[in-house]
Amino acid sequence: MTAIDLTRSAEWAALKQHRKSLAKTRIGALFSEDADRFGRFSLRLEEFALDFSKNLVTAETMRLLRVLAAKAEVEAWRDRMFAGERINTTEDRAVFHVALRHQGREPMPVAGRDVMPEVRAVLGRMRDFATAVRDGHWVGATGQRIRTVINIGIGGSDLGPAMTVQALRPFCHPEIRFHFVSNVDGAHLEAALAHADPASTLFIVSSKTFTTQETLANAKAARDWLTARLSPSAVPKHFVAVSAAVAKAQEFGIAAENVFGFWDWVGGRYSMWSAIGLPIAVALGWDGFEKLLAGAHAMDRHFREAPLERNLPMTMGLIALWNIDFLDCDAYAVLPYAQDLARLPAYLQQLEMESNGKATRRDGKPVKCATGPVLFGEPGTNGQHAFYQLIHQGTQRVFCDFILAARDRSGHPELHRLLTANFLAQSQALMLGKSAAEAEAEMRKAGMKAKQARALAPHRAFAGDRPSNSILLGELDPYHLGKLLALYEHKTFVLGVLWGINSFDQWGVELGKQLANDILGGGGIARDGSTAGLKALYDAWRT
């Protein structure tokens, strides 16, 4: 199968023409015309709902988008992924993270070999290790149980575990503190070590190749900290690794039996379901980690089995394509109304922008349309007092995902009612807006003089007609979080297929690393005047 340039297809042209027919249509008006619009433009999977009715879409829009998906052979590409085929063409690898959370007994083959026995073996080792740490059977060099776990990784080896442990904070072990160190800025490691006792601290070093520059630098600094306070012989009781490079981990001082492996068909940003999720398993316990996997598997099955018109990831991907390429939205806000999901936007930045932030199709030709938008976000209601001004009244067109859990777990139900009201109000405000006449009438009713009200009305008007999705979960627990993350994974996959790009490589992160190594080695400084000038200032000021 080859990449199809959809922008040259009759199906794309039909959508362009359809967009013109909606030029004077407002989203709010569509609700006036259809009393059951929510029912027609929302989907459910158990206690998991996607409302996409506040987008500028009609039944005809969705029909044309599904025709486009058929032209792009999205379902065939999905089936190839689930079959373990090498759809990561630039690296000649399968894309098989779905096997990591597979719950059935049927085989999951890559190149004709069932990978499930190996997956279950690693999961079994993770279970035993996590249980030993949580129960106090794994002890440090002085016999003390583990009270602090510090995960050292970067990118996919950090963002998924860090986001998940924070998101599921109430389900975590109450007597173990978790820290995640990724930045090579020493301040990040120092903050994690500030209140750590070396005798009760466990480090998990996560690097597939055990050569990642930032991770190894932080790991060596952590090892120096530990050995200065205990002894070099303490390293095997305080360091474990998640890596495919067992020999390199052993050279570092980690015992081979404490290295947890994974496979080349696990991409970094899809790896939290593998042994990269070891800190999650320690935090939640094995039952909690299994529920996370089960939630993701439930979404996998839905993505694989549900028809296009009832398929949540397919619908999310098609709506995103419509907003990006036909409504000219170049920015995308993910707005979780849950403080514990504070790291979700950062996690999704890597998932979506590293996957689809590309300008080259699988066949090596340039894309002819906009691809990955700039993704940003912050928990509501904090974001409302920061960047919502731009979303509501700015010149950029931003489409949004609002996320809320129905059941409160904070023990403060009145606060959750207020949070929910804001969740509902913001998407409504983005859609309906407020005309200058309405704003003027409001001010006059409040007693303001006519001249002043007329002058202020343009400043208090909202264009509205800004598209958004709303995602409602029954509860923010391991099962529902697993579903949510798998939904975004598959939505990202759908978009990649529609754009004809390979969503599973990340060559864009390599050049800067190469140049950094060149500069560290003494070269590259004179390559341009700016770099040479900055380096000269740095050398002068650091002394």
Q: Catalytic residue, from 214, 352, 354, 378: name it.
A: 354
Residues 326 and 425 in one domain: yes
Asked whether the beta carbons of 214 and 517 are under 8 A apart, the reply is no
Across the range 285-314, mean pLDDT stands at 98
Residues 120 and 230 in one domain: yes
Residues 489 and 347 in one domain: yes
Domain with 75 in it? 44-82+306-502
pLDDT of the residue at 2? 64
Give the chain's count of helices (H) and strands (E).
Answer: 23, 13
Q: Is the per-residue pLDDT at 296 higher than 90?
A: yes
Q: Is the per-residue pLDDT at 380 higher than 60?
A: yes
Across the range 478-503, mean pLDDT stands at 97
pLDDT of the residue at 125? 97
Q: Is the per-residue pLDDT at 507 higher than 90?
A: no
pTM for this predicted structure: 0.95
pLDDT of the residue at 15? 98
354 is catalytic: yes
Residues 266 and 321 in one domain: no
- Residues forming a β-bridge with 434: 462
List of residues 6+ apart from 18 with CB closer than 8 A: 60, 61, 64
94 domain residue, yes or no: no
Unique residue bearing structure tokens 């209140």: 195
14 domain residue, yes or no: no
Task: Give percent of the chain above pLDDT 90.
Answer: 91
209 domain residue, yes or no: yes
- Give the whole-angstrom CA distance, residue 361 versus residue 502: 7
Residues 322 and 355 in one domain: yes
Q: Is the per-residue pLDDT at 379 higher than 70?
A: yes
Q: Is the per-residue pLDDT at 508 higher than 90?
A: no
CATH of the domain at 120: 3.40.50.10490
| Domains of the chain: total | 3
328 domain residue, yes or no: yes
Residues 252 and 125 in one domain: yes
pLDDT digits (tens, 9 = 90+) for 210-219: 988 999 999 9
Across the range 172-198, mean pLDDT stands at 97
Residues 363 and 397 in one domain: yes
Q: Catalytic residue, from 16, 365, 385, 412: name it.
A: 385
490 is catalytic: no
pLDDT digits (tens, 9 = 90+) for 103-145: 989 999 999 999 999 999 999 999 999 999 999 999 999 999 9
- Give the whole-angstrom CA distance, residue 285 versus residue 69: 40
- The rounded radius of gyration (Å) of the Cα atoms in the chain is 25
pLDDT of the residue at 1? 57
Residue where a domain terminates, one of 241, 258, 289: 289
pLDDT of the residue at 89? 93
Residue where a domain terminates, one of 289, 321, 336: 289
The 10 Å Cβ neighbour count of residue 255 is 15
30 domain residue, yes or no: no
Amino acid at 200: S
- Give the whole-angstrom CA distance, residue 321 versus residue 44: 21
Across the range 525-536, mean pLDDT stands at 85
Residues 524 and 465 in one domain: no
- Give the whole-angstrom CA distance, residue 336 versus residue 320: 18
Residues 377 and 257 in one domain: no
Q: Is the per-residue pLDDT at 377 higher than 90?
A: yes
pLDDT of the residue at 455? 97
Asked whether the beta carbons of 487 and 299 are under 8 A apart, the reply is yes
Residues 202 and 225 in one domain: yes
Unique residue bearing structure tokens 């000021």: 541
pLDDT digits (tens, 9 = 90+) for 32-83: 999 999 999 999 999 999 999 999 999 999 999 999 999 999 999 999 999 9
pLDDT tier at 513, thresholds 50, 70, 90: confident
Closest CA to 79 of 490, 444, 526, 523: 490
- Give the whole-angstrom CA distance, residue 329 versus residue 348: 18
pLDDT of the residue at 3? 65
pLDDT of the residue at 518? 84
Amino acid at 54: K
Q: Is the alpha carbon torsion for 241, 244, 246, 252 positive or negative?
A: negative
Asked whether the beta carbons of 426 and 402 are under 8 A apart, the reply is yes
Residues 417 and 366 in one domain: yes
User: CA 486 → CA 239, 271, 294, distances in Å?
Assistant: 30, 12, 11
54 is catalytic: no
24 domain residue, yes or no: no
pLDDT of the residue at 496? 97
pLDDT digits (tens, 9 = 90+) for 252-268: 999 999 999 999 999 99
163 domain residue, yes or no: yes
Pairing of strands 148-152, 113-114: unpaired
- Burial letters for 91-116: b for 16+ Cβ neighbours within 10 Å, e otherwise? bebbbbbbbbbbeeeeebbbeeeebb
Q: Is the per-residue pLDDT at 244 higher than 60?
A: yes
Pairing of strands 468-473, 398-405: parallel
pLDDT greater at residue 534 or residue 25 = 25
Residues 525 and 496 in one domain: no
Residue where a domain terminates, one of 289, 323, 349: 289
68 domain residue, yes or no: yes
Residues for the chain: how many in total?
543
Q: What is the mean pLDDT of the chain?
A: 95
Q: Catalytic residue, from 137, 412, 449, 513: name it.
A: 513
- Burial letters for 319-352: b for 16+ Cβ neighbours within 10 Å, e otherwise? bbbbbbbbbebebbbbbbbbebbbbbbbbbbbbb
- Give the whole-angstrom CA distance, residue 515 versus residue 537: 19
Bond prior to 381 in cis (omega within 30° of 0): yes
- Give the whole-angstrom CA distance, residue 38 versus residue 58: 12
